[in-house]
Amino acid sequence: MKNIRAVIFDLDGVLVFTDKYHYQAWKKVADRLGVPFDEEDNNRLRGVSREESLEIILEKYKGDPLSAEDKKKLTEEKNAIYVNLLSQMSREDVSRSVRRVLSDIRERGYKLAVGSSSKNAGLILEKTELKDAFDAVSDGNNITKSKPDPEVFLKGADMLCEAPEHCLVVEDAKAGILAGNAGGMYTAAIGDAVKSGKADYDMFSLSELLYLLD
């Protein structure tokens, strides 16, 4: 780990937890479509784009064919519900341990970035008062391909002016670990991503980063 100069964090599921808001928003859309949707279904949507998430939900859709415009309206509806729910977030939605880890890593001289497929990453960072913790934010607003494509992480590395081989990606989703691997970066898994067995390092808590980067 001596050649690591930067750490790129996925946002949702690693630093903050907005799964419940995603679930509530998609649930409303699915219910209106008459599509069965539960938390297990919601887990399949982690780390993928809004458009791809809708396609997964529509696998169980039995109604009339939907046009591209129909699908666009549905994703916009979901996002409007989600953004309204995000307005409830505050500084308290980020634990003290997460803030300590970010602060300690920065004090050690590492560059920090967010690499998230979400187009609402900026809003989440603002609401939780995390913006100043990062040198760069690469998110769904500046990419065309979702994880497991490495684009979001490669752009994050570029923003930090670091080569991929000098970056460590921290992810809680298999798609994110695969994206980091595909980008030629080191990867550290947490949460569900540990089950993938694809990461260079597996962690039970974010605090273990302090030992990996020691």
User: Which one, of 167, 173, 141, 172, lies nearest residue 154 by Cα?
Assistant: 167
User: Which one, of 43, 89, 36, 27, lies nearest residue 60 by Cα?
Assistant: 36
User: Which one, of 2, 18, 15, lies nearest residue 207 by Cα?
Assistant: 15
Non-local CB neighbours of 7 within 8 Å, separated by 6+ positions: 105, 110, 111, 112, 113, 167, 168, 169, 170, 209, 213
Active site residues: 10, 12
State which amino acid sits at residue 162. E
